[in-house]
Chains A and B, each alone.
Chain A
């Protein structure tokens, strides 16, 4: 009872819940308004092409290695697990459609978004957060450069470009790995595998994956730049903002995945 305000435990609990609720509602509102602000910057001149290109290189091209690596092992484990179940029914040729459909519709967009947010999203927050705590954002404002236009907009555009492409690469790498593994280790017929993949995957499956890629691209750019701008309190604040980015992006991607799947199919 060394608290400055001597309250009974129930009242303190109520106060704690109330403050938490207000903080949650306020943060949600601030994040939503920030998303609108960021989206509006795309239509404001100048377009900052050079900055967008360098961000595509950072968010997209530098993620290819880690995305392909995780895709290869996802494809391998899907093929192995699917084979173990399907071989009991003598329909091991369905491994192709199992791997392709689960990769294209669900796993490729989600896992790509998680990998990119851990790699690039965290770095974006750390960069912008460091600028925020060292008052470089105020310096930008003082020379009439809007930080939201200069820092956030190129990253939003770049991740809108990069995420669908990375998602497609993830799907292809996973299917290719499952193909090689299925043909060389499991003894499946290569032609049957590919014709099974082709006949089971429809354009609507590919387009769902693309939509998810676009939406997760927005989520990554949105959360990581927002957390960067909000960072305060020196090096510790930047670290906190970075870990929040990764957690919030992962939660939003997984929730959003369910919502998109439910809405689009």
Chain B
């Protein structure tokens, strides 16, 4: 052993350094994959409900599901069913959703990512594994919204002077 350099417990220095490197590297790789990359090694403790939307906008898989801004689950999959988008939601166990919960798709900020917002109702019965949320609101289309605001306003007859037209409406303004 002494011929192979200083040794601790029968292992050479090279072996110990290589082992340390591999363990450190695998640890970093594991952290990168699971915590940052979102790879799931163990199945998350969650139950699944579905919701059908006429339009999901740019909702993506793994997008958060929130109640009152608090993340309580993730979007598991999005696919087409009978020409509407069926979204499967994984909800953390421990969060009980009443049967008349409303699901809508919102956007975090003006440019942020889309997420599913749930507003719980007041029903006594809770949604169970595999059940469907009956009431949904589709994603707001930002281009539609801007278009409606801009062109909807300018389609009124008195639209020659934009300053007078939009800021001071004689019919609705306070006295």
Contacts and interface: CB of A to CB of B under 8 A. Distances in A.
B18 A57 contact: yes
B158 interface: no
Contacts of A95: none
A168 interface: yes
Contact of A198 (B20, B29, B33, B35): B35
A202 B21 contact: no
A60 B37 contact: no
Contact of A169 (B15, B24, B39): B24
B25 A168 contact: yes
Contacts of A169: 24-25, 28
B38 interface: yes
A162 B26 CA distance: 10
A165 B29 contact: yes
A104 interface: yes
A197 interface: yes
A205 interface: yes
A202 B38 contact: yes
Nearest to B61: A202
5 contacts: A162-B25, A169-B24, A171-B32, A203-B33, A205-B37
Interface of B: 14-15, 17-18, 20-22, 24-26, 28-29, 31-33, 35-39, 62, 64, 111, 113
Interface of A: 53-54, 56-57, 60-62, 64, 89, 91, 100, 104, 161-162, 164-166, 168-169, 171-172, 175, 197-199, 201-203, 205-207, 210
